Amino acid sequence: MSLGVSPVPVVPPTVVVGDDGLARCSWGANDAEYRRYHDEEWGVPVHDEQRLFEKLCLEGFQAGLSWITILRKRPAFRAAFSDFDTEKVAAMGEPDIERLLQNAGIIRHRGKIQATIGNARATLALGESLSELMWGFAPDAAGRRRPQSWSDVPAVTAESTAMSKELRRRGYRFVGPTTMYALMQSTGMVDDHIAGCFRAA
């Protein structure tokens, strides 16, 4: 029987204290692989060309999936795509695509596999540093306020939209504005560790 009282919405915590006594962003508090990724990688600046290309590709593969799925499959992705060496990936052809579609260790999505190869070719055709191009869209950290809760963390920004537009212009695929904001977070172009997280210190 309804008493006409609306239930109080349950707000998920933004920061969780782990068994080790460290306060973490709630998404990185439970699963061991997420915890390692949160503590060691997420928000850490990445300038290395090969690792940036890897992040670009893996964020594209993640579209529509959970990031933990990608993390657990990352070793298989690295093996399948020659550790994301752009020259080796760019040289892949249809036989490689068919082979990769049989590889249960990765995400077997033809469009994303083709995009990875095409993005490698686009990177080689840049005529400039991928790192310099991408970091050129990083917002000014001095003007950013530390997010206090997940409601303060955007899904898309003007900078991620501009990055997406420019990469698309240069022939990249699976680089939408939301995907590019996730890449900005993962490569340290923005630091979205929530206030109270030990990494936000």
According to the model, what pLDDT value does residue 143 have? 73
- pLDDT of 170 reads 97
Give the angle subtended at the CA of 195 by the CAs of 191 and 196, to the nearest 5°. Answer: 125
**Which regions of the chain are under pLDDT 50?**
1-11
pLDDT score of 152 = 93
Residue 80 falls inside a structural domain: yes
- Give pLDDT, residue 4: 42
pLDDT of residue 96: 98
Which positions ≥6 away from 66 have C-beta within 8 Å? none
**Tokens (6 digits) for 12:** 């998920």
- Assigned domain for 100 exists: yes
Element (H, E) at 23: strand 23-25
Residue 66 lies in a domain: yes
What are the backbone dihedrals phi and psi of residue 16, each rounded to the nearest 5 degrees, phi first?
-125, 135
Rounded-to-integer distance, Cα 196 and Cα 25, Å: 8
* 8 located within any domain: no
For residue 161, tell me if it sits in a domain.
Answer: yes
> Does the residue 118 lie in any domain?
yes
* pLDDT at residue 2, as a whole number: 37
Domain count of the chain?
1
Three-state secondary structure call for residue 90? helix
In a domain, 9, yes or no: no
Per-residue pLDDT tens digits for 104-117: 999 999 999 999 99
Catalytic residue among 41, 67, 150, 166: 67
Asked if 135 is an active-site residue, the reply is no
Structural domain of 65: 49-138+152-200
Considering the domain boundaries, does residue 101 fall inside one?
yes
CATH number of 181's domain: 1.10.340.30
Q: What's the CA angle centered on 79, arms 73 and 81, to 5 degrees?
A: 100
Q: What is the pTM of this model?
A: 0.90
Q: What is the pLDDT at residue 10?
A: 45
Active site includes 59?
Answer: yes
What is the predicted pLDDT for the residue at 6?
41
From 27, 34, 54, 59, the catalytic residue = 59
**Cβ neighbours for 31, distance < 8 A, ≥ 6 positions apart:** 68
**What pLDDT shows up at residue 12?**
57
Catalytic residue among 27, 37, 135, 172: 37
130 sits in which H/E element = helix 130-135
pLDDT given at position 63: 87
